[in-house]
Amino acid sequence: MKIAVAQINTTVGDFAGNAARIREAIDRARAAGAGLVVAPEMALSGYPPEDLLYRNDFCDQCEAELLRLAAYAPDVPVVVGHPHREGRVRYNAASVLRGGAIEAIYFKQRLPNYNVFDEKRYFETGNRPCVFEAGGRRIGLTICEDLWFPQTATQAKSAGAELLLSINASPYHRNKLAQRYQVMGARVKETGLPVLYVHWVGGQDELVFDGASFGLGADGAVGYQGETFQEAVDIVEFEGGRLSGPVARPLTEEETIYRALEVGVRDYVGKNRFPGVLVGLSGGIDSALVAAVCADALGPDRVHAVMMPSDYTAGMSVEDAREIARLLGIHYTEIPIRPVFEAFRAQLAPAFAGRAEDTTEENLQARTRGTLLMALSNKFGWLVVSTGNKSEMATGYATLYGDMAGGYALIKDVVKTLVYRLAYWRNERGLVIPQRVIDRAPSAELRPDQTDQDSLPPYEVVDAVVERYMERDMDPEEIVGLGYDPEAVRRVVGLIRVNEYKRRQAPPGVRITPRGFGKDWRYPITSGFRPKA
């Protein structure tokens, strides 16, 4: 039996466009002689629809498109995920379409409600298995979280399933594919049944979905592995207890993360119909990496870079910005900020009389740049992609309405040490970031001879503390117990705590870790809690 795995990129609420992608997969399945087409979880509506699910008209439009889709494929059974409404109740559902109608419908039994997931906010749980016949084989239908627990798989086997089919919308983070293999392998071992894991690919606001659909045989062997972060309709053979199909080459962690960033910005720009992006190019490594990802994702002609030098901007920074733009082939403009900055200072001089210059003037430079970027964005419609990394977002080493200004924060979940790794990886494909940009000590260049390490511990320490405190919820005492300097740990944890108000005002950006500063970080701004260190 041949199964067509529709690893497709859908958009929340674009029912007609999503259905068109599924119809295209059906056409390709027919041409290949497939006896079943499988689309991912919530493929018809896009995922996650969030509070759109509360709208009856949203659910009604989805149902109407589902019926049209069923009529399109009377000869080929199709499995498609979608929300299902019964009165005031909603389900995360999957339908089996056959003979021009909905033959069967399955309701997801395990609703995740952690990290980025809020499914219990919207859906009721199902409690019955769905086993259907295709190509003379009995297939047990499940949805994503269902197979992260043994009960649903056992239930499907008891109902006569010969194959466990799992349709998914599982947001990417580092090492996610290895986790999926581990969990699906456990279900295979428990039931003795092969598993076909069907996943979607693309970006939805801060979430990215990596594709990488796969099939495990009854012996646990990988017989099929789809591409990562690429749309595809793969034909998978199901014979005996074996699944076989194309096997994509494994990717390094750096390449996988880089692809995640590309997909995130490409889909955010494309699905929201921006004509291009605007990047404040400082000559530093963060903005260089952001410009490179944007150029690779969108094409150089849709990337506009602006260098905004001040009196504190080193000559080499301007030279490096020009060289980065040349190497990438992107549009490049220089707008010195001194006249605007001096005008601000002049206007504020009476109010500031008798007070020495401090970080206020430093931040005023950053806010001058932010104002210029947003003015260009308003005039030309380009999306401002900000360039702050996760280390800066964690510690507040960023200026509200300055370098935080923008519509998309591409690397907000990429710590500084990983920024360097990605820069090295990208340069191995072709030099786009000059080596001295990588070698220079990072600096905001807002005062003479400034470096980031004047205000922060070394980034190796900052990133280690951020990962353990923010991503793993470790206590500061535990982190110190791992050998880190107590004062450095106290400093970083304290900065994370007091800068929540800034992060609440930051743009969305690609989530690549198990916990980013977004949907899955919900700390109060006002709090009397003080971690012990």
CA–CA distance, 296 with 426 (Å, rounded to integer): 10
Task: For the beta carbon of residue 207, count every other beta carbon within 10 angstroms.
Answer: 22
Residues with Cβ within 8 Å of 179's Cβ and at least 6 positions away in sequence, in order, are none
| Catalytic option among 59, 62, 130, 144 | 144
Q: How far apart are CA 226 and CA 243, in angstroms?
A: 13
Nearest by Cα to 162 from 141, 183, 182? 141
- Angle at 444 (CA atoms; ends 440, 445), nearest 5 degrees: 85
Q: How far is CA 3 from CA 20, 69, 94, 165, 456, in A?
A: 19, 18, 17, 11, 54
CB-based contacts of 339, cutoff 8 Å, min separation 6: none
List the strands of the sheet with 2-7, edge to edge.
101-107, 89-98, 78-86, 36-38, 2-7, 232-239, 242-244
Catalytic residue status for 253: no
Residue appearing with tokens 């990562």: 228
Give yes or no: 227 in active site.
Answer: no
First to last CA, the chain: 60
Phi, psi for 473 (deg, rounded to 5): 60, 30
DSSP 453: G
Q: Quick one: residue 147, left, alpha or beta (phi over 0 = left, psi -120 to 50 = alpha)? A: alpha
State the CB neighbour count (10 A cutoff) for residue 142: 29
Q: Closest Cα partner for 418 from 176, 279, 253?
A: 253
Q: Is residue 519 among the annotated active site residues?
A: no
Distance CA(410)–CA(414), nearest Å, equals 9
Of the residues 59, 62, 63, 108, only one is catalytic, namely: 108
Amino acid at the residue 294:
C
Q: Which residues are catalytic?
A: 41, 108, 144
